[in-house]
Amino acid sequence: MSHPIRLIVADDHELLRLGFQTMLRKEKDILFIDEAQDGQELVQKAVLHRPDVIITDINMPRMDGIEATRQLQDILPNTPVIALTMFDEDSLIVEMLEAGAKGYIVKNTGKDEIISAIHTVISGEPYYCIKTTARLAGLIAGSKFNPLRKKARPEFTEREKEIILYLCQENSNKEIGEKLELSQRTIETHRERIFEKMDVRNLAGLVVYAIRNGLYKI
């Protein structure tokens, strides 16, 4: 993208909106252009400004993030929406994804992950928060949510399938290496190759992919 990524943030808490603005102020490739305090205002401002990305809370007065996302999919179908959530909102996160959101982050997410999420959805890929639980991954995998880009399912070697299973069980590279009697560096290489085949950015994306494609059962 030749120009800075233009962003609108919607949340009914003024301090959170201010926090985003302050956090991203020095980012040369992301421009905070406006804010909204509820879903209705978000839709109005999105139509006015035509942002590149929208980050929105789920629970808001007048119109929640789910309904706002549904409307935005009709009005601005090419503008990705990222859901801003709490830890205990698993079912609402799934509803947001089914409404058209392309990813989600939790409210205490750090700056680096927020930036990563923005760049990921801009590139046409879904973004799964790194703090995704196994339960949420299972809910997403069983939902109607489909990533933007559909690709043919890649083939995984038996060794890769073993490593996928251990990764889904939250084993570290070192622990997997000890179980398989392989070096940590070898496991890291396999892990990178698996991420590339799945076209995912983090472990949460791997778990969702594995559950959805029958590589892991919870």
> pLDDT tens for residues 94-104?
999 999 999 99
User: Is the separation of the CB atoms in 136 and 123 below 8 Å?
Assistant: no
pLDDT band (50, 70, 90) for residue 1: low
User: Is the separation of the CB atoms in 134 and 210 below 8 Å?
Assistant: no
The CA-to-CA distance between both ends of the chain, in Å, stands at: 39
pLDDT score at 89:
82
Spatial separation of the C-alpha atoms in residues 202 and 204, rounded to whole Å: 6
Spatial separation of the C-alpha atoms in residues 125 and 150, rounded to whole Å: 10
What residue ranges do the domains of the chain occupy? 5-131, 158-212
pLDDT at 155 over 70: yes
pLDDT at 150 over 70: no
User: Is the separation of the CB atoms in 161 and 215 below 8 Å?
Assistant: yes
pLDDT score at 149:
54
> Which tokens belong to 96?
């947001």
pLDDT band (50, 70, 90) for residue 48: very high
| pLDDT tens digits for range 156-193 | 999 999 999 999 999 999 999 999 999 999 999 999 99
**pLDDT over 90, % of the chain:** 78
The average confidence (pLDDT) of the chain is 92
pLDDT band (50, 70, 90) for residue 201: confident
pTM here is 0.84
pLDDT band (50, 70, 90) for residue 131: confident
Whose tokens are 């889904």? That residue is 168
User: Is the separation of the CB atoms in 32 and 59 below 8 Å?
Assistant: no
pLDDT at 151 over 80: no
> Which tokens belong to 92?
């609402």
pLDDT at 43 over 90: yes
5-131 is classed CATH 3.30.390.30: no
CATH architecture under which domain 158-212 falls: Orthogonal Bundle (1.10)
pLDDT at 34 over 70: yes
pLDDT band (50, 70, 90) for residue 218: confident
